[in-house]
């Protein structure tokens, strides 16, 4: 299995030294870290909600994100985490620009437990809620544990995925005549949500010149990608396989730009990408970041939905 190599990712991430501007190397970019970043994960409650939280601390500044396991909507964090363990961070929505909705205050004990309050800012619902978090291991994106099948009438295919993951249906970037939806699979690590690392299926229309995304057939020849009629020397040939009535075009040599949720460019990264074709339908199947490591396993479960 090909591993994703992402410039902003774990193996190739360049951590900053104290005093160095670390803005390009962490997410979300809700505060400017002043020291070597360290990662921290928590799980617990904010009011009645069961949440998972990720914080990245550098110096006495901290950024992060948490989500309610009921809806997986990211709430951004940014502010201070002092040497005494006092934390004071704003909570924000990425909508798409950052919009502050409250203030989270508390203290992290020597044992790593985080206790405090979340107070909604004026005009936002919620009032003041108690916060009780405990340190937790980094949630896994490896696909270990049970899997379950996904089938939805808005998708022409079914597939299996890790039961601990979340599937979200959104409108396609380029709507098709069939009205098929785009499906995004998110792993439970809130760090992956911060970087926009996920796996997804997206229906793609055929353009007037017969191309699909950056796949094109020049002069009626085989499918190629990464080129057009004026840049034939840049054409690359996808690996073509067939499975369960689906033709699969593999185009892994694709660069992705990595952005923080709520905007903020991090760096160039790489990912997996396939184009699936059947019954005059075209579906892009892609993955970015650590969740992409199980994309081959998901691919092996795809079926045309009857």
pLDDT in tens, 227-274: 888 899 999 999 999 999 999 999 865 667 788 887 677 777 777 889
pLDDT-wise least confident of 29-38, 117-126, 185-194: 117-126
- For residue 3, pLDDT over 50 is answered with no
**250-260 b/e (C-beta count within 10 Å ≥ 16 → b):** bbeebebebbb
Q: Which of 77, 16, 15, 21 is nearest to 51 (CA)?
A: 77
Residues of the chain with CATH 3.40.1000: 147-304
pTM above 0.95, yes or no: no
| Number of other residues whose CB lies within 10 A of the CB of residue 300 | 11
Domain with CATH 2.40.128 in the chain: 31-135
* pLDDT the model gives residue 96: 65
Exposure string for 118-157, b = 16+ CB within 10 A, e = fewer = beeeeeeeeeebebebeeeeebebebeeebeebeeeebbb
At 111-122, the pLDDT tens digits run 999 999 999 987
Query: pLDDT grade, residue 60 (50/70/90)?
Result: very high
pLDDT at 22 over 50: no
Q: Which of 157-166, 167-176, 189-198 has the highest mean pLDDT?
A: 157-166
Tokens of 215: 């796949």
- Name the class of domain 31-135: mainly beta
Its CATH class, for the domain covering 147-304, is alpha beta
pLDDT computed for residue 124 by the predictor? 65
CB-based contact 71:167 (threshold 8 Å) = no
Look at 228 and 179; give whichever has higher pLDDT.
228
């Amino acid at each position: 299995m090909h591993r994703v190599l992402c410039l902003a990712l774990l193996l190739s991430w360049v951590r900053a030294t104290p005093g160095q501007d670390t803005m390009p190397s962490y997410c979300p970019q809700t505060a400017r870290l002043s020291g070597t970043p360290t990662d921290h994960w928590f799980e617990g409650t904010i009011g009645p909600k069961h949440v998972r939280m990720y914080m990245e601390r550098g110096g006495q500044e901290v950024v992060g994100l948490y989500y309610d396991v009921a809806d997986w909507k990211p709430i951004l964090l940014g502010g201070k985490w002092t040497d005494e363990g006092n934390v004071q961070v704003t909570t924000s929505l990425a909508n798409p620009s950052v919009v502050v909705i409250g203030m989270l205050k508390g203290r992290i004990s020597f044992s790593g437990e985080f206790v405090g309050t979340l107070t909604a800012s004026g005009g936002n619902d919620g009032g003041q809620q108690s916060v009780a978090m405990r340190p937790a291991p980094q949630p896994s994106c490896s696909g270990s544990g049970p899997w379950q099948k996904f089938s939805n009438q808005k998708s022409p295919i079914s597939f299996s995925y890790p039961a601990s993951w979340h599937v979200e249906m959104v409108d396609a970037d380029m709507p098709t005549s069939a009205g098929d939806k785009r499906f995004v699979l998110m792993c439970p690590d809130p760090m992956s949500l911060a970087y926009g690392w996920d796996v997804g299926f997206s229906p793609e229309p055929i353009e007037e010149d017969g191309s699909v995304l950056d796949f094109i057939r020049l002069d009626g020849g085989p499918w190629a990608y990464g080129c057009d009629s004026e840049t034939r020397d840049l054409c690359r040939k996808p690996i073509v396989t067939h499975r369960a009535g689906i033709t699969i075009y593999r185009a892994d040599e694709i660069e992705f730009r990595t952005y923080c949720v709520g905007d903020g460019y991090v760096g160039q990264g790489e990912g997996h990408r396939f184009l699936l074709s059947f019954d005059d339908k075209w579906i892009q199947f892609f993955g970015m970041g650590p969740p992409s490591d199980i994309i081959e396993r998901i691919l092996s479960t795809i079926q045309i939905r009857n």
